[in-house]
Structure 1
């Protein structure tokens, strides 16, 4: 048995802001993917995954909700028969490893599922997001449901607010010098502690003011520029966003990268921002000249995501 493929995701803009109802833009990242498989003998990662699915089964069987029904009998049988999630998506890297898993379980076991082929009305998208939020909370304590939604639909998704999400058309890639890239921090990041730090900071009036008056405004401007293909304006806004994040989200940036982050802002060779909740994993980079950025960051592993 091998299930359909579910891809990683990158939240280009909106990390943390979407928890507080500002805009976000997520895109599928098909370099990494996962699928449900079954093996007679489980070892290593496959065995760990199978045990994880058993815990997810227990969690879903105790969910008190009328919004979704699963074929739990079949799920339990398949786990018992050696099912696991075979995935190349790095865990703790901010690219949606648990999201892809959740999408695959919904796809296989939800009894009255909303399919990708239907006319995806706003109501259906919000219902899916709500279901995925419930399911993914098993992994993170609190989840927006956006990662699994992105993985399930395999479409770019624009979050206007908690109650207004839509598939987004993003400009096709150009063979230009500019790029969005991933920088590997070579550290694992954990979502839950980072989200807790953010929630505690939100109790502070000054921090809340910064989120609504600086962070959200720059984020929204970046999204508008990106979707409209205003590259010049985009880089100005990304630079502003990078500064705000460095100043206000220090705990989410691995200490070894504070100077690297600053260097990008000073030299304009590249600008960095959080990829997901931060604390490790990938850092997202934007540059007007990818070759220059590669030189400037020659000691680090970079992965190309999108070309301008």
Structure 2
């Protein structure tokens, strides 16, 4: 048995900001994917995934008892399949900010939810919000607190525009140009990031008045502008605002940036060869890069592993 594929995602803009109602833009990233699978000869990874799924099922059982009107699952079938050795066969790196748990949540909802909202129906704002709420509750098992966006993106496999917490919509993004010099890329930090501790640091920082003011007047402001610039195809403004955003992140989110990357982060701002920003919660995993000249960025970052996500 092998289920349908669910893809990884990239939150281009909005990490941390969406907790405080900034705009956000999330796109599917088809390079990585995962599927539910049952097979007899299991690797250690498959066994670990199966054990994690087993705990997840008990969590989902409790969730549907506590919030029966939110979501119901075919729990007996789920218990049975996990007992048979079902696991999530995934190429999505864990702790890298590209939605490994989101894809798993989407796969479980797709296969076991009763009365599920499907991709084929007319996706009204209410349905999108209901899905996001369900996925947020499901994914909280892995992160402690989840917006539900990663699973939503993985489940629908379309770009999602977050206008605010209660206002999300499917959107189109400018077409890619394979010959374009500009690019969005992933930079591999070589370190696995843990979401929960990073979110805890952020929540702790929110108690500080100065940090809250910086978030509202700088971080959220530039995030919103970047989303508008990107969707509107205004690349000149996009890079100007991404540079400002990159500076704000370096100055105020240092714990989320692995120490050995502080220097190259600053170098990008100084030279304008590229601008870096967080991908997901940070602390490791991938770092997201934006450049107007891919060749320059590749030369400047030749000691690191780059993956091009989007060219324009």
TM-score range, shorter chain: over 0.9
Deviations 1:202-257 (A, max 9, x none): 00010000001000110000000000100111000000000000000000000000
Mapped to 1, the partners of 2:211 and 2:171 lie a distance apart of 30
For residue 43 of structure 1, report the CA deviation from its aligned partner.
Answer: 2.6
SS of match in other structure, 2:89? strand
Mapped to 1, the partners of 2:220 and 2:180 lie a distance apart of 28
Mapped to 2, the partners of 1:43 and 1:25 lie a distance apart of 36
Paired residue for 1:156? 159
Match of 1:261 among 261, 265, 271: 265
Alignment of 1:31 onto 2:31: yes
For residue 120 of structure 1, report the CA deviation from its aligned partner.
Answer: 0.1
Paired residue for 1:22? 22
Unpaired runs of at least 5, structure 2: none
Q: How does 1:1-308 map to 2 (within 5 A)?
A: 1-63=1-63, 64-65=66-67, 66-174=69-177, 175-308=179-312
For residue 40 of structure 1, report the CA deviation from its aligned partner.
Answer: 1.8
CA-atom RMSD, angstroms? 0.5
Deviations 1:26-52 (A, max 9, x none): 000000000011012323111111111
Contact 1:183–1:301 (CA<8 Å) still a contact in 2? yes
Mapped to 1, the partners of 2:95 and 2:58 lie a distance apart of 23
For residue 113 of structure 1, report the CA deviation from its aligned partner.
Answer: 0.2
Unpaired runs of at least 5, structure 1: none
Instruction: State the 4+ residue runs in structure 1 displaced beyond 4 angstroms.
Output: none
For residue 3 of structure 1, report the CA deviation from its aligned partner.
Answer: 0.5
Deviations 1:92-139 (A, max 9, x none): 000000000000000000011000000000000000000000000000
Mapped to 2, the partners of 1:20 and 1:52 lie a distance apart of 31
Mapped to 2, the partners of 1:151 and 1:163 lie a distance apart of 19
Aligned residues: 308
Mapped to 2, the partners of 1:73 and 1:241 lie a distance apart of 48
TM-score, structure 2 as length reference = 0.98
Mapped to 1, the partners of 2:118 and 2:62 lie a distance apart of 25
Deviations 1:18-72 (A, max 9, x none): 0111110000000000001101232311111111110100111111112100000
SS of match in other structure, 1:62? helix
Mapped to 2, the partners of 1:78 and 1:89 lie a distance apart of 22
Mapped to 2, the partners of 1:302 and 1:47 lie a distance apart of 31
Mapped to 2, the partners of 1:22 and 1:245 lie a distance apart of 15
Mapped to 1, the partners of 2:174 and 2:265 lie a distance apart of 27
Mapped to 2, the partners of 1:6 and 1:193 lie a distance apart of 26
SS of match in other structure, 2:276? strand
Mapped to 2, the partners of 1:214 and 1:20 lie a distance apart of 13
Mapped to 2, the partners of 1:131 and 1:31 lie a distance apart of 26
Contact 1:41–1:82 (CA<8 Å) still a contact in 2? no
